[in-house]
Amino acid sequence: MKGVVRNPILVVVLSVVTCGIYALYWMYCVRQETKEYLEDPSVSPGLELLLVIICFPFLYVWYYKMGRDLVKMQEKAGLPANDQSILYLILAFFALPVVGNYIIQDNLNEIWNRQE
């Protein structure tokens, strides 16, 4: 399964312009693609998004989990694993999640391009 290759800069710009609404949509899509690629039924994009919306601290958990899953995805794609989960967590903590989104999307694009 190949996910959608997105422009990381556009992800950041749309997230800022829509005051985070696009970021929520992007988070759902990225987790759905992760679930399908890893064939992992424990990934629940809808529940994770709901928890981010109603319980803001879950945002930090989301970034950490996404970082850990990216490592699994990189290994599956035959790429060198680069665990940046702590970096995403720190960026989210210091109100810079869009930077984390950029890095995550860039890593995902590398994985998706490897599938071609």
Q: What is the pLDDT of residues 14-29, one digit of tens each?
A: 999 999 999 999 999 9
Residues 108 and 94: their CA atoms lie apart, in Å, by 23
Whether the CA torsion 55, 56, 57, 63 is positive or negative: it is positive
Where the chain has pLDDT below 50, the residues are none
Q: What is the pLDDT of residue 18?
A: 97
Specify the pTM.
0.93
* Long-range Cβ contact pairs of 69-75 (< 8 A, separation 24 or more): 69/34, 69/38, 69/40, 69/43, 70/104, 70/107, 70/108, 70/111, 72/38, 73/34, 73/37, 73/38, 73/108, 73/111, 74/107, 74/110, 74/111
Q: What is the pLDDT of residues 34-43, one digit of tens each?
A: 999 999 999 9
